[in-house]
Structure 1
Amino acid sequence: MTNRGRSDLTSTEIARMLGVSDESVRRWRRVWEEGGADGLRRRPATARPPKLDDAPVDRVRAALEQGAQTDGFEADLWTLERVGPVVERVTGVALIRASVWRLLTGRLGWSLQRPERRAVERNDSEIVRWVAHE
């Protein structure tokens, strides 16, 4: 082992120690050389702001809580394909499928639900009786 200081370590050695890529270490070094510690400080995310503010999201929530049958669907189930047109009707904003998913799961706090597949004719009490006696 050599008696080198930390500044003598190669990008590859630092990357291995930190479990990151060599390119990340080289990028960090460039930023350090150009701006010091301030250059390395975390900055707020620069993602695109959401297309819908809180008020339109509340209107979408109210429309969805009335149920899918209110919007003319036979079954009272919401799918991404069904929610998209409702969002556009209520807000005037067209969302792609992924954005509808983020709206439902992120902003509205909804989760994926799958209906149970059961025959309409199913009689649970008859099934219990049959299992107990047969």
Structure 2
Amino acid sequence: MERFERGEKNREIAAPLRVSERSAERWRRAWRERGETGIPSRGSPGLPRLNPTQIARLDRELERGPLVHGWADQRWTLARVKM
């Protein structure tokens, strides 16, 4: 909201957030119409919810590193974790 108040353009807001300018435009319109309550975060849709056991297992596997899981380097990416 501070960025809207400062008059930043939609593209300046969208780029670092990696969202479309259209999304920033919708947020700005909602902010103008309803203020701060117009743009609450709804979280990320479609993400699976892990239970504590699954989270602990994921932590252990990530700690083991990508090489152990057959990747050629030590970089974790979302695509690799997702597999």
Instruction: Sort the TM-score into its range (normalised by shorter chain).
Output: 0.3 to 0.5
**When the two structures are superposed, what TM-score results if normalisation uses the length of structure 2?**
0.36
TM-score between both structures, scaled by the size of structure 1: 0.27
- Greater CA radius of gyration, 1 or 2? 1
